[in-house]
Structure 1
Amino acid sequence: EFQGIKKFIAEDPTLKVKQDEDTGQTILSGMGELHLEVIVSRMQREFGMSVNVGKPQVVYRESIENEVEALGLFDNEVAGQHHYGEVRLRLKPLPRGTENRFVSELTDESIPEIYIPVIEKGVMESLESGALMNYPVVDVEAALTGGSFKESQGSELAYTVSASLACKEALKKGSPYLLDPLMKVEVFVPESFVGDVIGDLSARSGKIEAIKHKTAGLQAITAVLPLAQMFGYSTSLRSATQGRGVFTMKFSHFDRC
């Protein structure tokens, strides 16, 4: 069965798959509800798979509201050897869409330069799982502001772990919040259905950006909506337009809703 999934992944780089070790479920991630429906249909048709499909889930992002500092300390014995590392970080929010970045602001030799890359690695890996719901963290700057080192006890392990601990603590203190994936939706409908369609989009927290006249009496409505509000939209649109409406949808950006 997994050979079939691997075939689809090879054909479509936007399709992702992972195994949930706790539940044994195979989780497919794609560009939207219709995308996943097509993949499931192909799995059943081309490979004869018996597929039990759960309700789609939205993959959010996380960020932080406030600038915060935190300290991470690893001071333990591992495999008969003592490891020590202390890291102080400052996390601050960046403008939306900036992505994450790491900077070192050390002005002394409190931590040997050789450990800076492993501290960055520990921070960046920690940002892959936020403090709220374990979604990836975006648009955050992590600055290394201080720390300490003990001769013969410093190690890559100690500084990777202490950086991760400092980052996790800062994420908790920074007033974390969720970012919704927002989709740009274009709906094509006969003019007589425009009012009903706009009403439905607005009820789904949609922001109408434009309404344009197309050929043959069609109107094109452009809106931006949270992906979570788009589940089941195909059925809703068919019902509202007597089967005469169609729509396209693509990812726009992440933002707070």
Structure 2
Amino acid sequence: AGNIAAVTGIRSAAAGVTLSRDKDFTPFEAIRHYSDPVVTVAVEPKSMKDLPKFIDALRSLAKADASLQVTTNQETGEALLAGMGELHLEITVYRIEEEQNIKVKVSPPIVVYREGIEGSNRGSAFEGKSPNRHNRFFFEIEALPTDVVAALRSGDLGDGPVRSGDAKEVGNKFGELGMNKDIMRKIYAINGTNVLVNDTKGIQNLHETRELIIEAFNEVCVKGPIADEPVQGMFVRLVDAKLHEDAIHRGPAQTIPAVRNGIKGAMMRARTVLLEPMQKAFVSVPNDWLGPVTREVTTRRGIIEDMPSEGAVTTVVGVIPIAETFGFSNDIRAASQGRAVWNTENLGFEILPPQLFDKVVGEIRQRKGLKPEPNPESYYAD
């Protein structure tokens, strides 16, 4: 035990896989990565003749680094690299240029935000209507408890549509985490850290629209109502429905918009907020440069949590929004005249301060080609 081996020539291998000569074997437990990529850049080769080599290099990097997400446009050669932070992506680009000898163009970094639920519309269900007005779905939404979100993120509760035969078992797992197991046994689907439950009673023909309801739920989880950003930690309950008796009037073109608008409207009624990714920084610096380093952290909306000292060196422990960390490496070097040593870890997401909400939402929506302000609750009632 404890040996390190090098194996070459296995092109299909990726980080985290188990290799064996035997067909029947038990693989090692998969390595779970609990941190989602929070910064994205667009990268493309400066010369189109390097495109095939560039795409191969990206595939190789994605295999070796499970925390890197790569999306490629095969026609234009543009790739979106999503990683843990600015430094992570800088290293990735460096490897493309230096190891593969491919010169690339890189866009400014973009922070990936999340949308979440701050309140609840329990007791005030939002009604989503189909375009033909013959179908109506009523939704109540609230935030999931933090321990349930953690269990969903770890994969302990599964992901995707939940079969009727498995709903009781899955519901019991939620019950062990303190949720109402009777309600959770009627679970329809899980999408990431979001949950959809059918909490209706005796609705005729509802089972025929189950897949369409789940499809609309998944669409909302990918693009929320505030800024088309992914949603997390949302508990959606379908509490009532009124369906047309003729199946032709409750097909996909009717059911999906009704459910999508119903969920988005309920989210607005329950108070949807924007969540920004956070990072904890540990900066060790000689005491003579402590002042400039702490100022560098606090001017980036950072909060200093601790400053333990050991001899002539102090470690500044601070929490900083990732949106404020661009250029942090160079600025810390300058503030400490190159004497600081630091590392970081991602801390998940926290609610964006209210005073920044309009500005950040407006910037995201402008970048995505959307109108400046999110649609109000009333928009989804029409």
The answer to whether the Cα contact below 8 Å between 1:111 and 1:148 also exists between their aligned partners in 2 is no
| Paired residue total | 249
Correspondence for 2:340: 245
Superposition map of 1:1-257 within 5 A: 1-19=54-72, 25-68=78-121, 69-74=125-130, 85-95=135-145, 98=149, 99-153=193-247, 154-155=250-251, 158-214=254-310, 217-257=312-352
The structural deviation recorded for 1:92 is 2.2
Q: Aligned partners of 1:111, 1:193: CA distance in 2, in Å?
A: 70
Matched residue SS, 1:184: strand
The answer to whether the Cα contact below 8 Å between 1:183 and 1:252 also exists between their aligned partners in 2 is yes
Task: Single out whichever of 129-138 and 84-93 deviates more from structure 2.
Answer: 84-93
The answer to whether the Cα contact below 8 Å between 1:66 and 1:174 also exists between their aligned partners in 2 is yes
Q: Aligned partners of 2:109, 2:101: CA distance in 1, in Å?
A: 22
C-alpha change, 1:106 and 1:75, in structure 2 (3 Å) is same
Q: Aligned partners of 1:111, 1:64: CA distance in 2, in Å?
A: 30
The answer to whether the Cα contact below 8 Å between 1:96 and 1:255 also exists between their aligned partners in 2 is no
User: Over aligned residues, Cα RMSD in angstroms?
Assistant: 2.6
C-alpha change, 1:111 and 1:71, in structure 2 (3 Å) is farther
Q: Say which structure, 1 or 2, has more relative contact order (CA 8 Å, 6+ apart).
A: 1
The answer to whether the Cα contact below 8 Å between 1:110 and 1:146 also exists between their aligned partners in 2 is no
Q: Which amino acid aligns with 1:52?
A: K
Q: Aligned partners of 2:197, 2:334: CA distance in 1, in Å?
A: 53
Superimposed CA distance per residue, residues 44-87 of structure 1 (whole angstroms, 9 cap, x where no aligned partner): 112222211121111111123443433333356xxxxxxx7532
Unmatched segments (≥5 aa) in structure 1: 77-83
Q: Matched residues, percent identical?
A: 27
Q: Which amino acid aligns with 2:337?
A: Q
The answer to whether the Cα contact below 8 Å between 1:66 and 1:92 also exists between their aligned partners in 2 is yes
Q: Aligned partners of 2:260, 2:350: CA distance in 1, in Å?
A: 26
Q: Which has the higher strand share?
A: 1
The answer to whether the Cα contact below 8 Å between 2:114 and 2:232 also exists between their aligned partners in 1 is yes
Q: Aligned partners of 2:335, 2:342: CA distance in 1, in Å?
A: 13
Q: Aligned partners of 1:53, 1:101: CA distance in 2, in Å?
A: 37
C-alpha change, 1:20 and 1:92, in structure 2 (3 Å) is farther
Q: Which amino acid aligns with 2:110?
A: Q
Q: TM-score normalized by structure 1?
A: 0.85
Q: Aligned partners of 1:92, 1:103: CA distance in 2, in Å?
A: 12
The answer to whether the Cα contact below 8 Å between 2:203 and 2:241 also exists between their aligned partners in 1 is no
Task: Single out whichever of 90-99 and 176-185 deviates more from structure 2.
Answer: 90-99
The answer to whether the Cα contact below 8 Å between 2:280 and 2:318 also exists between their aligned partners in 1 is yes
Q: TM-score normalized by structure 2?
A: 0.59
C-alpha change, 1:2 and 1:24, in structure 2 (3 Å) is closer
Superimposed CA distance per residue, residues 84-122 of structure 1 (whole angstroms, 9 cap, x where no aligned partner): 753221222344573322222102224433533542342
